[in-house]
Structure 1
Amino acid sequence: MTYTEIQQVLDRAVDEHGVPGIVAEIRHADKTWFGTAGVADITTGGKRRPGEHVHTGSSGKAFTAAAMLQLEAEGRLSIDDTVDTWLPGVLNVNGYDGSKITIRHLLSNSSGLFVTGLAPEVSYRYATRAGFARHRLDVWTKDDLLNIAVSQPPVSEPGAAFAYSNGGFHVAGAIIEEVTGNSYADEVDRTVIKPLGLTGTHVRRPDETDYPDPHPRFYSVLFLKDGADPAKVTPENWQSMMEDPGLDPMDVTVFNTSGGWSAGDVVSTTGDMIRFVGAMAGGSLLPPEQHREMWTTISTEGGHWMPHTRYGLGVFELDRQVTGGTTLRGVGGSLWGSYLCVVGTPDGEHTMALHTNTEWKTWDIMFEAVKAEFGKGV
């Protein structure tokens, strides 16, 4: 089996889409392939390499869901428990009702919580280059994140629609801590990272701003135009408000990402993420009942998210229209300076990870790679 087509996708990502550096790692049964294009460091020209530690963005949601489902398997909670069962009153503000929103709603992005990433409290800190430079080392506390989660009114009734909300996963993280008496990071380590032997993976500490070696530099152009008002950004108009293309990328390697917390603040490697997604897709970590719950999916149509997908609990399924013949299971995430997508077959035997050391540029990169690898038959 050759990987010429995948390498061509990587080269196009650099040449046509302006990605500084990109890697792909593929594991098919007992065989592994690793490819790269571009650079890990714009200044030195150093190349990207296997085993780099990278931020996984919202892929961390799957770690939260897996930890919660493990707690259910241990008999410590039910994902159909309401938020009020564990955090009485936390959601009972601004039109929300914690007696109607369940853990399942939180983990499936169907809680009715608004799209937290567009909250002005977040946007005003990071939306412009100048703001990012001022606030890149800010530490977000759990209380900060829970307050932001309910700072805007609901977008739907619980269970009525998909809306991608970091806030829902922040509430889920708080429930994990309430149920166990342990930190969110410790519970993810106990229930997911250690059982799977993910030696290059950890949840970042609240004050952590660096990465273990090796790692690439991370670069961003994810900023609004000068003078743009972050409060006026919507899921419909955000692209038109972004700064003009062609500006030099900003090095955002040193960055406190505590604002992600249980919605996505995991550092890992492409190899570890392949093992993780293989276990999530194939069911080798969770008991059968919890595995079925994780992969009971809902439509994402109209949710201003990745096209051609259905969402489970912290994970997604990619439909055959994109893959060229087979449904794939995966995780993905993007933030300033990092984009990761990992997809694989439902048996967990054939998995591909893509990472760019800049944020999401276009779905074309991922979809082209998926078709090249999985469209030829598995």
Structure 2
Amino acid sequence: MATWDEVAGALAGLGEENHFTGSVLVVEGERTLLEVCAGLANRATATPIHPDTRFGLASLSKPFTAAAVLSCVRDGLLGIPDRVADLLPARRRPRSLSDQVTVHHLLTHTSGIGDYAEEDQDLPGYVEDYGALWGQVPMYRIERPDDLLPLYADAPPVAPPGTEFHYNNAGFVLLGAIVEQVTGQHFTSAVTERVLGPAGMASAGYFRSDEPVPDVAVGYQRHPGDPAGARSNIFSIPVVGNGDGGAHATPRDLDRFLRSIASGDLLGDGLSTQMRTHQVDVAGGVSYGYGLYLRADGGFGHGGGDPGVETMARHIPDRDLTLVALCNGEEMLKHVWPLLVSAI
């Protein structure tokens, strides 16, 4: 087992080789075991990454969406068994949506609906280049869940509802629309009010890429002929986050969020337990709860990846241990995350 000093040294080496630009945090109880930052948050201004730098989270935002939905369940605004067709008017849901799809199915990636960004290359609608989607609907027009609907309104189902786990971004976009429908609020406002604020995530939010926001890392993606990966991802992701991803946070914010789920402080003991209870098998001993991947050791968390963004966060309640790795570049997490795991 590696020591945390050894991990810190290895991360510093990765930073020097440009294999890691980002921020890493490991917390056990109230003790910080490791906190390392490397690289630049903005290469144009030579702004270094520091512990308070906020990173795009990509799909690591999905647990926030799930928590917002469960907060609506807590408040009696909807039920987990409710059918999507009973919660959303026809104009806000895909024409190809089965009447049998429920909130439970969306939360567990078992709806079987067609995705707007299919990640399985063996299925219709597979998207190799996420940025290419915005040729159909410009990324600067993606501000609400409904704005993504044209990309999957007629996508054929990939499986009957409730029959198998199939990771699905569109399902969490629909959850965002449901949150809007039952609360009467903009999705990002509802999540901020119901999840980010109560969890103590003071630095977190859904920040627009076309507005100057301090302490937000620019995501840098690789391009053919540009080995330094110095091009920003501003034209490759929606202008603001949605139900399936795009929030921003610091590592400390994520530690607070995961602990608020483990303790029950955010949603209450019942729904917090339900969120991190096995609902469907995934693979290799990993299962899925409501917006969270679950591991055999009781650990839970999520990861994310967008052009110029790689993220991972996990909390292990039995050890009161949180691991967070946030990168504003590509092909970095494969070097960083194994180092953290090697020390636990």
TM-score by length of 2: 0.84
Distance 2:149 2:242 in 1: 11
Q: Which residue in the other structure is 1:189 paired with?
A: 192
> Which one of 271, 282, 298 corresponds to residue 290 of structure 1?
271
> Which one of 277, 282, 286 corresponds to residue 300 of structure 1?
282
How far 1:78 moved relative to its partner? Answer: 0.5
**SS of residue in 2 equivalent to 1:262:** coil
Q: Which residue in the other structure is 1:162 paired with?
A: 165
**SS of residue in 1 equivalent to 2:287:** strand
Q: Which residue in the other structure is 1:107 paired with?
A: 107
Q: Which residue in the other structure is 2:308 paired with?
A: 337
Q: Which residue in the other structure is 2:21 paired with?
A: 21
Aligned residues: 333
Q: Residues 91, 127 of structure 1: CA spacing in aligned structure 2 closer, same or farther, 3 A cutoff?
A: closer
Q: Residues 211, 282 of structure 1: CA spacing in aligned structure 2 closer, same or farther, 3 A cutoff?
A: farther
Q: Which residue in the other structure is 2:176 paired with?
A: 173
**SS of residue in 2 equivalent to 1:300:** strand
Q: Which residue in the other structure is 1:322 paired with?
A: none
How far 1:127 moved relative to its partner? Answer: 3.7
Q: Which residue in the other structure is 2:48 paired with?
A: 47
Alignment pair present for 1:310 and 2:287? yes
Distance 2:145 2:127 in 1: 14
Q: Which residue in the other structure is 1:57 paired with?
A: 58
Q: Residues 261, 123 of structure 1: CA spacing in aligned structure 2 closer, same or farther, 3 A cutoff?
A: farther
Contact 1:204 1:267 in 2 (8 A): yes
1:165-218 deviation line (CA, Å, top 9, x unaligned) = 11101111111111111111221122112212211011235xx43463223332
Q: Please list, as runs of the form range in 1=range in 2, the aligned pairs for 1:1-378 lying within 5 A after superposition.
A: 3-11=4-12, 13-14=14-15, 18-32=18-32, 33-42=34-43, 46-89=47-90, 91=93, 93-94=95-96, 96-97=97-98, 99-118=99-118, 126-127=131-132, 137-204=140-207, 208-210=209-211, 212-221=213-222, 247-252=227-232, 254=234, 257-258=238-239, 260-297=241-278, 298-301=280-283, 309-319=286-296, 326-346=297-317, 349-361=320-332, 363=334, 365-372=336-343, 374=344
**SS of residue in 2 equivalent to 1:261:** coil
Contact 1:113 1:150 in 2 (8 A): no
Distance 1:125 1:316 in 2: 23
Distance 1:259 1:159 in 2: 31
**SS of residue in 1 equivalent to 2:238:** coil
Distance 2:325 2:186 in 1: 30
Contact 1:20 1:38 in 2 (8 A): yes
How far 1:24 moved relative to its partner? Answer: 0.8
Distance 1:191 1:349 in 2: 24
1:267-287 deviation line (CA, Å, top 9, x unaligned) = 111111111112123322112
Q: Which runs of 5+ in 1 are unaligned?
A: 224-242, 302-306, 320-325
CA RMSD across the alignment: 3.1
Contact 1:281 1:330 in 2 (8 A): no
TM-score by length of 1: 0.77
Distance 2:337 2:212 in 1: 25
Contact 2:109 2:168 in 1 (8 A): yes
Q: Which runs of 5+ in 2 are unaligned?
A: 119-123
Farther off after superposition, 137-146 or 63-72? 137-146
Distance 2:214 2:268 in 1: 34
How far 1:91 moved relative to its partner? Answer: 4.5
1:299-345 deviation line (CA, Å, top 9, x unaligned) = 223xxxxx6632211111234xxxxxx33211221111121211111
Q: Specify the code of the residue in structure 2 equivalent to 1:109.
A: H
Q: Specify the code of the residue in structure 1 equivalent to 2:103.
A: I
Identity %: 26
Distance 2:155 2:194 in 1: 33
Structure 1 consecutive aligned stretches of length 4 or more whose deviation exceeds 6 Å? 119-125
Distance 1:346 1:211 in 2: 37
